[in-house]
Amino acid sequence: MYGISTVGIGKTYGSFRAVDSLTFNVKSGDIFGLIGPNGAGKTTTMRMLCGTLSPTTGTAFIAGYDIAKENIRIKKIIGFLPESTGFYNWMSGEEYLYYFARLYDIEEPIARKKVRDLLDRVGLAGRAFAPVAYYSRGMKQRLALARSLINDPKILFLDEPTLGMDPRGQQEIQKMLSDLNLEDGVTIFLSTHALTDVSTFCNRIGILNHGKLIACGSLNDLRNLLNDSTSIFVRILRNQETASRLAHPPFKITIDNVTEDSVDMIISDENIELDEVIDWMRKQNLKFTELRQQKMNLDEIFFRLTKPSNDKDSTLITVNKSRSPQVGQSSSRL
Ligand SMILES: Nc1ncnc2c1ncn2[C@@H]1O[C@H](COP(=O)(O)OP(=O)(O)O)[C@@H](O)[C@H]1O
Ligand SMILES: [Mg+2]
Residue 306 in domain: yes
Residue 293 in domain: yes
What's the average model confidence in pLDDT over 74-81? Answer: 96
Flag whether pLDDT at 185 surpasses 90: yes
What's the average model confidence in pLDDT over 220-239? Answer: 86
Residue 121's pLDDT band (boundaries 50, 70, 90)? Answer: very high
Note whether 293 and 274 are within 8 A (CB): yes
Residue 206 in domain: yes
Residue 324's pLDDT band (boundaries 50, 70, 90)? Answer: very low
Q: What distance in angstroms lies between residue 70's CA and the mean position of ligand 1's atoms?
A: 25
Q: Are residues 157 and 299 in the same domain?
A: no
Run of H or E residues at 206: strand 204-209
Residue range 21-61, pLDDT digits in tens: 999 999 999 999 999 999 999 999 999 999 999 999 999 99
Q: Are residues 68 and 170 in the same domain?
A: yes
Run of H or E residues at 156: strand 155-159
Q: What distance in angstroms lies between residue 47's CA and the mean position of ligand 2's atoms?
A: 10
Q: Whose CA is nearest to atom 20 of ligand 1?
A: 39
Euclidean distance between CA atoms 90 and 275, whole angstroms: 67
Q: Are residues 131 and 59 in the same domain?
A: yes
**pLDDT at res. 333:** 54
Q: Which residues neighbour 86 within 8 Å (Cβ) at sequence distance 6 or greater?
A: none
Q: Are residues 249 and 197 in the same domain?
A: no
Higher pLDDT, 330 or 28: 28
Q: Side-chain half-sphere of 330: how many Cα atoms within 13 Å?
A: 25
**Which residue range forms the structural domain that includes residue 235?**
228-332
Question: Residue 279 maps to which CATH number?
Answer: 3.30.70.1150
**pLDDT at res. 196:** 87
Atom of ligand 1 nearest to the CA of 38: 23
Buried-exposed string 162-172: b where 16+ CB fall within 10 A, e elsewhere: bbebeeebbeb
Residue 309's pLDDT band (boundaries 50, 70, 90)? Answer: low
Residue type, 44: T
Q: Are residues 196 and 250 in the same domain?
A: no
Q: Is the CB of 34 under 6 A from ligand 1?
A: no
CA nearest neighbour of 140 among 163, 174, 117: 163
| Boundary residue ending a domain (187, 217, 247) | 217
Q: Are residues 121 and 19 in the same domain?
A: yes
| Boundary residue ending a domain (193, 217, 241) | 217
Q: Are residues 275 and 311 in the same domain?
A: yes
Atom of ligand 1 nearest to the CA of 11: 12
Q: Are residues 99 and 179 in the same domain?
A: yes
Q: Are residues 200 and 59 in the same domain?
A: yes
* pLDDT averaged over every residue in the chain: 88
Residue 223 in domain: no
Q: Are residues 64 and 136 in the same domain?
A: yes
Residue 222 in domain: no
Total tally of structural domains belonging to the chain: 2
What's the average model confidence in pLDDT over 84-102? Answer: 90
Residue 103 in domain: yes
Residue 238 in domain: yes
Q: Are residues 51 and 178 in the same domain?
A: yes
Q: Which of 17, 19, 35, 43 has the most ligand 1 atoms within 8 A of CB, as the residue to mutate?
A: 43
Residue 157 in domain: yes
Q: Is the CB of 43 under 6 A from ligand 1?
A: yes
Q: Is the CB of 55 under 6 A from ligand 1?
A: no
Residue range 232-280, pLDDT digits in tens: 899 999 999 898 998 888 888 888 889 999 999 988 777 788 898 999 9
Q: Whose CA is nearest to atom 10 of ligand 1?
A: 18
Q: Are residues 167 and 283 in the same domain?
A: no
Question: Residue 157 maps to which CATH number?
Answer: 3.40.50.300
Q: Which of 16, 35, 208, 213 has the most ligand 1 atoms within 8 A of CB, as the residue to mutate?
A: 16
Q: What distance in angstroms lies between residue 2's CA and the mean position of ligand 2's atoms?
A: 24
Say whether 20 sits in a helix, a strand or coil. Answer: strand
DSSP state of 31: E
Q: Whose CA is nearest to atom 16 of ligand 1?
A: 41
Q: What distance in angstroms lies between residue 190's CA and the mean position of ligand 2's atoms?
A: 11
Q: Is the CB of 15 under 6 A from ligand 1?
A: no
What's the average model confidence in pLDDT over 171-187? Answer: 93
Q: Is the CB of 11 under 6 A from ligand 1?
A: no
| Boundary residue ending a domain (190, 217, 244) | 217
Sheet hosting strand 231-237, strand order edge to edge: 253-258, 262-267, 231-237, 288-294
